[in-house]
Amino acid sequence: MLTGDRGFELLEQHCTLLGTLGLQRCGLTALPPAVARLPNLTSLDLSHNPQLQLDPGQMADLISHAGRRSAGGLRLLRLAGTQAAYWLGAAE
């Protein structure tokens, strides 16, 4: 089992074709930087991580990096049940 930032770094290095990543209900408090750098990520589910906080800069970086992806960018970002959802006014 991989844990902590090292697990996410290995994910970035060895899962470059990964298109969908579900990290719902993982107890995340911050977005691991490696997740935002996955080159073919089109769907990211961060829902139901109640302590997850993304500041506006992190959101901009995630969206900006997603727009440069060759596979068409991040098409789905789920944030329900996170602090980010409240910040965006999308809490349900």
Render pLDDT for 5-23 as a digit per residue (tens, 0 to 9): 556 677 767 777 888 999 9
**29 domain-assigned:** yes
pLDDT tens, residue by residue, 57-83: 777 767 666 555 554 677 888 889 988
DSSP 23-63: -TTS--SS--HHHHT-TT--EEE--S-TT----HHHHHHHH
**59 domain-assigned:** yes
Q: Is 85 exposed, middle or buried (0-12, 13-18, 19+ CB in 10 A)?
A: buried
The CATH number that applies at residue 27 is: 3.80.10.10
Can you give the pTM of this predicted structure? 0.75
| Sign of the C-alpha dihedral computed for residues 68, 84, 51 and 49 taken in this order | negative
Q: How many CB atoms lie within 10 A of CB 91?
A: 13
pLDDT tens, residue by residue, 28-62: 998 888 887 788 888 899 999 999 988 777 777 67
- Structural domain of 35: 19-88
